[in-house]
Amino acid sequence: MPTDWNEFTASAGALQEAGILPLAMGQQGWQQNIAFGAITLAVAGQEAWNGVNIDKNADVARGPEYTAAFEAVAAARDLAAESNVQDWNMATNLVITGQAGAQIMGDWAQGEFSVAEQVEGKDYSCLPGLGLNPVIDTGGDAFYFPVNDDPAITAAQKELAALLISPEVQVSFNLAKGSLPVRGDIDMSTANGCMQKGLEILANGGVLPSGDISFSQDTTLQIEDLQAQFWSSDMSAADAQAAYADIIANAD
């Protein structure tokens, strides 16, 4: 199993000769954006990434680190060229059934692996930060409880909220889904290897602000559209970088 992205791209030729698709990718903008983010973080490095995503500096987006990143993404596009599925879980399925070598996706994909009864470490494994830059982008779902006058309902709401973040529920939910718990004081020793890697990164403070926090939904959609176009056509890395820099320049 390759230890980082560079080793993976080097071994891709052998995978293709064996008739295996190196990289599985669903043809939807948000998935391609996740891959773009992961490759950029790994290849362009943390500082350049911060410059673009936090400071929204278009000059960094036009700079050499991002040129290297876009070319790596163009290479990934070639590796995923035969991947003709649409949804993310169809792409995960390609990896589960052995038709594809890898997928760049969030840790919720582990849920698919566990439903297919595959074991981490034996049937599959993972490389946080593509092995080059171990950081995690955090995001999650939120539950909203509307304020109301009935005390019985309010008590029930509080009970549900307490249950959701209770240690027992956090452990069992995250073990089933493959994600990381929202509280740091629980025993995740039964978690598999991938989750342990993630927990270690969390504990070391390797956390990035999520795309939802950095960019407005409008900017995110524009970036996803650009990724959708870039991945499904033979747009050059230079053109994509120029378009990306324009979006960053107008980002809010």
| Interface residue list for another protein (CB under 8 A) | 27-29, 84, 86, 216-218, 220-222, 225, 228-229, 231-233
Looking at the Cβ atoms of 6 and 27, the one nearer to another protein is 27
Instruction: Tell me if 106 sits within 8 A of 34, measured CB to CB.
Output: yes
Looking at the Cβ atoms of 8 and 244, the one nearer to another protein is 244
Which pairs with CB-CB distance under 8 Å and at least 24 residues apart come from 10-16? 12/79, 12/101, 15/101
- Nearest approach, Cβ of residue 221 and another protein (Å): 4
Q: Which amino acid would we find at residue 26?
A: G
Residue listed under structure tokens 């943390």: 46
How many DSSP H helices and E strands does the chain contain?
13, 4
- Nearest approach, Cβ of residue 33 and another protein (Å): 12
Looking at the Cβ atoms of 55 and 87, the one nearer to another protein is 87
- Nearest approach, Cβ of residue 80 and another protein (Å): 12
Looking at the Cβ atoms of 195 and 226, the one nearer to another protein is 226
Instruction: Tell me if 134 sits within 8 A of 206, measured CB to CB.
Output: yes
Looking at the Cβ atoms of 170 and 222, the one nearer to another protein is 222
> What is the SS3 string spanning 79-93?
HCCCCCCCCHHHHHH
- Nearest approach, Cβ of residue 143 and another protein (Å): 20
- Nearest approach, Cβ of residue 180 and another protein (Å): 26
Q: Where are the alpha helices (DSSP H) in 102-236?
A: 109-115, 151-164, 167-177, 193-203, 211-214, 217-232
